[in-house]
Chains A and B, each alone.
Chain A
Amino acid sequence: QQPVQSPQAVILREGEDAVINCSSSKALYSVHWYRQKHGEAPVFLMILLKGGEQKGHDKISASFNEKKQQSSLYLTASQLSYSGTYFCGTENSGNTPLVFGKGTRLSVIA
């Protein structure tokens, strides 16, 4: 079952913050976040496995709610390099193929 991502697209000025959401109607085993730039393969950002988990590096962080049905990706003080399409990929059980959301197109402008 494909997760639902929101928003579909967002435009930010450098330094602004953004939140991208990924939700499922059923509890998930894990949520994976990726960023893809035009013409390139997706790049792994982080994985969340535990309900209530939060993690991040640099100015990108993510959370996984207690029910493990919703995850959010937080981008703070955005940089031009953050531009791209962000996908969440979800697993219903371990070591199974990821099902990707439709993506959120993020554009950061100067």
Chain B
Amino acid sequence: GAVVSQHPSWVICKSGTSVKIECRSLDFQATTMFWYRQFPKQSLMLMATSNEGSKATYEQGVEKDKFLINHASLTLSTLTVTSAHPEDSSFYICSASPKYEQYFGPGTRLTVT
């Protein structure tokens, strides 16, 4: 099956620093990848749609200057949380689709202290 990886699996950082999360499709190419955020015991909330070679499309209420997305190739998208604050602590998950179904990465747990 299609495999999506994320790096790192977890990160703890101090308030005010920036954190980069990578999402890779290992055995397929993905023109589009999606970034989600999930708070404890809640559903996945779409943050943005990452398009290879063009700007990401952000959902309403998601600050594009705070959550920088770069889709450098057909197999790699990165999410950078800039000037992170404790309220940004969450589980960040990416997904990619080879055709119809979406496959999720294992997620990155971000804790901002």
Residues of chain A at the chain B interface (Cβ within 8 Å): 2, 30, 32, 34, 39-44, 47, 49, 87, 89, 95, 97-103
**11 pairs across A/B with beta carbons < 8 Å?**
A32-B102, A41-B93, A42-B93, A42-B104, A44-B101, A47-B101, A49-B100, A89-B44, A95-B97, A98-B34, A103-B43
The residue of chain A having its C-beta at the shortest distance from the C-beta of B45 within the complex is A100
Residue B77 CB within 8 A of the other chain: no
Which residues of B lie under 8 Å from residue A42 when comparing CB positions?
44, 93, 104
With A40-B107, A41-B106 as contacts: A100 and B100 at CB distance below 8 Å:
no
Measured in the bound complex, the distance between the Cα atoms of B100 and A101 in whole Å is 19
Residues of chain B at the chain A interface (Cβ within 8 Å): 32, 34, 42-46, 49, 93, 95, 97, 100-107, 109
The residue of chain A having its C-beta at the shortest distance from the C-beta of B59 within the complex is A97
* Total inter-chain residue pairs, C-beta < 8 Å: 45
Task: Give which listed residue, B32, B43, B101, B105, contacts A32 with CB less than 8 A.
Answer: B101
Measured in the bound complex, the distance between the Cα atoms of B65 and A50 in whole Å is 39
Measured in the bound complex, the distance between the Cα atoms of B109 and A32 in whole Å is 24
The residue of chain A having its C-beta at the shortest distance from the C-beta of B48 within the complex is A97
Which residues of B lie under 8 Å from residue A44 when comparing CB positions?
101-104
Asked whether, in the complex, the Cβ of A40 is within 8 Å of the Cβ of B106, the reply is yes
Task: Give which listed residue, B46, B103, B104, B107, contacts A97 with CB less than 8 A.
Answer: B46
* Minimal beta-carbon separation of A53 from chain B (angstroms): 13
Task: Give which listed residue, A41, A49, A95, contacts B32 with CB less than 8 A.
Answer: A95
Measured in the bound complex, the distance between the Cα atoms of B102 and A95 in whole Å is 10
* Minimal beta-carbon separation of A101 from chain B (angstroms): 7
With A95-B97, A97-B34, A97-B49 as contacts: A41 and B43 at CB distance below 8 Å:
no
Asked whether, in the complex, the Cβ of B43 is within 8 Å of the Cβ of A100, the reply is yes
